[in-house]
Structure 1
Amino acid sequence: MVDKSEKFNWFVRLGYFSRAILYFVLGLIALTSAGAISQGTDGIFRAVEEFPGGNVLLWIMVVGLFAYALFRFASPLFDIENIGSDAKGWGKRIGHAGSGIAHLVLAWTAYQFATTSSGGSGGSGASEATAGVLSIDFGGVVIGILGIAFFIAALAQAKKAISGDFMNRISASAPSYTRMLGGAGFGARAVVYAVIGWSLVNAGFMSGGAEDVKTLGGAVASLAGTGWLFTITALGLLLFGVFSLILSRYRIIPELDRDAGVPQFRTS
């Protein structure tokens, strides 16, 4: 009989597997298809849709991305990874909540493609949501603060890339090249998060409009004219997909039981 903890582990591992598909396809189409990457995040799911068995993959991504979002929400709600409740701990837990929201949006986009023949929302979802927030009192401040949060997240991604402390959360049985893959992937994500952060700060505090706000795919597409930076970022995102696939097998998943003790991967 499979207990709750084992079911939870498989649920989270499916989330990492879905994230692997997402980033691998994002990096692949950025390197090989200018037309697809220009469509932003919709281009990622449209590319998956066109794969053999693409609709099945989309449904796997719907469930997996939703699972990953729930896993991230468990951090601020229950401190499942025992990060702590000091300022540093809450900073990381709030960051995990932001990741949860982002992956819920991705899961919803995957659902739209999985359930409709034409798929997608035309890439306007982020703009519509931003326009709605900007229309309320202090909406610009909210969007601007979210942009600052993305800048902070970008710095955190860069720190992971340099320090390699993410390896503390991975089984020692993982392949020896996992550190390299993760470093390249987190470095690429730092660039993408910075682009998204700038688009939000521009929309919230400066002269930019809601239509200028970048999603994951849109941020990569905006780098298309930067030459080597675009190529290195796209390659890093593809490698992050491979890294996420390794995590789906070797990531140390904390127990659901809050009384189980501090996980072995906790860092100071």
Structure 2
Amino acid sequence: MRRTVRVIARCGYVAKGVVFLIIGVLASLAATGLGGNNVGTKEAITHLASQPFGGLMLALLSLGLLAYAVWRLLQALIDTENLGLGMRALGARLGFLISSGIYISLALYSFNLLRNAATGNTSPTDRTAELMSHPGGVYLVFAVGVGFACVGLRQMWRAIMRSYLENWRMVEMSATQRRLAEAATRWGLSARGVVFMIIGGFLCVAAVRTDPSEAQGLGGALNVLARQPFGPWLLGTVALGLVAYAVYCFVNARFRNVDP
């Protein structure tokens, strides 16, 4: 059982890293004017499918994303992190459950794309409008925005406090590996935190103005950075940070303690 869980978790972290690597590389190319584009997770998966051997890579990615969703579900249900049942712990486990749902959605999108039947690639505006159409939907959108902003702050807090070290098997890492892994992780978590805070801010604005068009996803958040003063520099810094976050995922695949 433990060996199976380890394989599931490590494959999942690799797949997640591949997605963020594509997003970061494309955004880096856009920042330097070399033809890239600012994309979200589904667009990154679609980009992979269009490459040589895209079908094979997409099949492997689909399985990896499904593995990551299963790993998140296990973290939530059997408490692989030994968090307990306190309020803070239950909040973290709820976050794992939500993350599992998100990656199941991405895995299904990948499988459908593999069958040339990808559907539901709706924009953030469409999803926000759908939520707002329900009773209390505006408040729900605002709550989701606050949630994104809180996740972004937590990512930056983890980078500052270096709490990720608690999950790594440090005895298996050389001094050089640890230094490089820490540098990539702190940059990656900070960049992802910035992006999540931007997404959360725009969702809150969309709720306050009751205007779904204000909502932005990951690609939209990167476009927002690009339009600011010194935009290419800002975008380039965050884009390379997303590449660094991919490295962090690969480090987790190799050195994270994933024993249940």
Residues 218 and 254 (structure 1), Cα distance of their counterparts in 2 relative to 1, 3 Å cut: farther
2:156 equivalent to 1:162: no
The percent identity for this pair of structures is 25
Give 1:124's aligned residue: 122
Residues 140 and 207 (structure 1), Cα distance of their counterparts in 2 relative to 1, 3 Å cut: closer
Shift, 1:15, TM fit: 0.4
Shift, 1:232, TM fit: 0.9
Alignment root-mean-square deviation, CA: 2.2
As a proportion of its length, which structure holds more helix?
2
2:23 equivalent to 1:26: yes
Opposite residue 223 of structure 1, the aligned amino acid is L
Residues 218 and 24 (structure 1), Cα distance of their counterparts in 2 relative to 1, 3 Å cut: same
Segment drifting more, 135-144 vs 221-230: 221-230
5+ long unaligned stretches in structure 1? 256-268
Matches within 5 A, 1:167-186: 167-172=165-170, 173-174=172-173, 175-176=177-178, 177-186=180-189
On the 8 A contact 2:149/2:200 being kept in 1, the answer is yes
Give 2:92's aligned residue: 92
How far does the alpha carbon of each residue in 1:2-59 deviate from its partner, in whole angstroms, 9 at most, with x for none?
xx22112111111001011011111000011476534544431232123332221212
**SS in structure 1 at match of 2:227:** helix
Cα distance in 2 between the residues matched to 1:162 and 1:198: 22
Residues 165 and 245 (structure 1), Cα distance of their counterparts in 2 relative to 1, 3 Å cut: same
Give 1:208's aligned residue: 211
Opposite residue 170 of structure 1, the aligned amino acid is W
Residues 126 and 62 (structure 1), Cα distance of their counterparts in 2 relative to 1, 3 Å cut: farther
Shift, 1:233, TM fit: 0.6
Q: What TM-score comes out, normalization by structure 2 length?
A: 0.86
Segment drifting more, 130-139 vs 29-38: 29-38
2:236 equivalent to 1:231: yes
Q: What TM-score comes out, normalization by structure 1 length?
A: 0.84
5+ long unaligned stretches in structure 2? none
Cα distance in 1 between the residues matched to 2:115 and 2:154: 36
**SS in structure 2 at match of 1:195:** helix
Matches within 5 A, 1:6-45: 6-33=3-30, 37-45=37-45
Opposite residue 74 of structure 2, the aligned amino acid is A
Cα distance in 1 between the residues matched to 2:214 and 2:66: 26
Give 1:52's aligned residue: 52
Displacement over 6 Å in runs of 4+: none
On the 8 A contact 1:148/1:197 being kept in 2, the answer is yes
How far does the alpha carbon of each residue in 1:123-151 deviate from its partner, in whole angstroms, 9 at most, with x for none?
52543332222111101111111111111
Give 1:261's aligned residue: none
Residues 116 and 222 (structure 1), Cα distance of their counterparts in 2 relative to 1, 3 Å cut: farther
